[in-house]
Structure 1
Amino acid sequence: MESTGVKTALVHPDNLPQGQSYLEWGAVWGGSVIAIATSTVLVQFGGSAGLALGDPMLANGEPSWQVIVASLWLFLTALASSAAGGYIAGRMRSRWGDAAKTEVEFRDGVHGLSVWAVATLTVAAFAALTAALAGMGVNAAAVQDVPENVAEYTTTLTVVYGFAAGAAAALGAGAAWWFASLGGSHRDEATDVNLLTPRFLRR
């Protein structure tokens, strides 16, 4: 049989069709919902336990450490919600068999980072809307009557809380990336979900 001289490329059955994206929004949206729900539950729990952002001063006139404690709780909330959402996105996305392990880890991490971005923007938009609605009812005359020391403490602790929020968001991005990669690794290794749950919750 004579050769036609035409070379044909081997097509991997798992190759992604040209023009499609490796980013699966179904996994991203699912992880985002998990992240937002986890954050909401933890914030509610913290508020009921007295960890919410409160007055900057105690009744005796001394500075309150409640804002510092609330900032630490914010760290834990951001890490836990980002980790949960990232893991779900990484484990639930499809893996295409056309890349090395490092590339697969990168794609899983991008899905986790996307979850973090969607959840962060959603929470930020809700917080901005809430603040705007609350600001409509603020009495300007009442604001002017605030003692100078209270205003000073309020400004300082607001800066602390703002820094904590930014740092928590940055750490949340890292947690989402890492746990998405972990979820992808468990997906590829078919890790039994029972190994990830406490014994008393198993069937």
Structure 2
Amino acid sequence: METTGVKAALVHSDNLPNGQSYLEWGAVWGGSVVAVATSTVLGQFGTTGGLALGDPMLANGDPSWQVLVASLWLFLMALASSAGGGYIAGRMRSRWNDASKNEVEFRDGVHGLSVWAVSTIAVAIFAAVSAALAAVGVEADTASADLPANVVEYTKTIALVYGFATAAASALGAGAAWWFASLGGSHRDEGTDVNLLTPGFLRR
């Protein structure tokens, strides 16, 4: 009987003391760094590959479809970065064996959502600074030139579409971060071999 009691104590730990949290910021920051780095790399790739948002007008005066390409790339960037960061946070956080399976999944998901929030704020700050610096150059270039009315209208429409795409991509990123954090937590508990997650040519 005593042996059974010892085993039970090892399997089920006590709740955290008052004032402490199940949220592990080490795992969150690690996942956030991965998410931001992934966004940066994919953003650079998109810019050099012609997938970034370009001119609103073509040379013949027709509206450019580049905004749709850029929006799709934005969706892929958000999903990939949030999924990677969320998985890292979910798999790297400690699990307290004092909760049901659903509660454990919720805690993993919250870590992924926290990664999404931190990385989104970081990217938003960087984008705001970059936009402010770019606006200075745009004002200087357009101060002495009058743009055609159709160009101004297309530019406003594209700004609206791209803004909506940015918000939608961010929302999808939150869902991806939650789901992949839960997946990472599941792999943590099951002891899933990391070699199953990497291509054969990257294995030792």
Q: TM-score under structure 2 normalisation? A: 0.91
TM-aligned CA distance change 1:141 to 1:37, over 3 Å:
closer
Letter in 2 for 1:193: V
Residue aligning to 1:112 = 112
Aligned match of 1:18: 18
CA 1:141–1:31 in 2, change beyond 3 Å: closer, same or farther? closer
- Deviation (angstroms), 1:67: 1.0
- Match of 2:15, SS state, is coil
The structure where helix makes up a greater share of residues is: 2
Corresponding residue of 2:126: 126
Q: Is the 8 A contact 1:194 1:202 kept in 2?
A: yes
**Cα gap change, 1:45/1:143 in structure 2, threshold over 3 Å: closer, same or farther?**
farther
Please, what TM-score do these two structures have when normalized by structure 1?
Answer: 0.91
Larger Rg: 1
How many angstroms apart in 2 are the aligned matches of 1:54 and 1:18?
53
CA drift of 1:156 comes to 0.7
Residue 99 of structure 1 and its aligned partner are, at CA, apart by 0.2
Matched to 2:45, the amino acid is F
Q: Which stretches in structure 1 are left out of the alignment for 5+ residues?
A: 1-9
RMSD of the alignment, in Å? 1.6
Partners of 2:79 and 2:51 lie apart in 1 by 17
Equivalent residue, structure 1, for 2:194:
193
| CA pair 59-192 structure 1, distance change in 2 beyond 3 A | same
Pair 1:46 & 2:46 matched: yes
Tell me the CA shift for residue 16 of structure 1: 2.1
Question: What is residue 147 of structure 1 aligned with on the other side?
Answer: 148
- Deviation of the 1:199 alpha carbon: 1.1
Q: Report if the CA contact (8 A) 2:112-2:181 is conserved.
A: yes
% same residue: 78
TM-superposed deviation, 1:130 = 1.3
Letter in 2 for 1:73: W
Number of paired residues? 194
Match runs of 1:8-87 below 5 Å: 12-87=12-87
| Conserved? CA contact 1:15–1:97, under 8 Å | no
Aligned counterparts of 1:28 and 1:143: Cα–Cα separation in 2: 48
Q: Which residue of 1 aligns with 2:4?
A: none
Contact 2:14 2:98 in 1 (8 A): yes
- Which residue identity is paired with 1:126? F
Q: For the residues of structure 2 that align with 1:76 and 1:141, how far apart are their CA atoms? A: 33
AA at the equivalent of 1:52: A
Separation in 2, partners of 1:141, 1:109: 47
In structure 2, give the amino acid aligned to 1:119: S
What residue ranges of structure 2 are gaps of 5+ in the alignment? 1-7
Deviations 1:75-101 (A, max 9, x none): 000000000000000000000000000
- Offset at residue 143 of structure 1 (A): 7.2
Q: Equivalents in 1 of 2:24, 2:140: separation in Å? A: 47
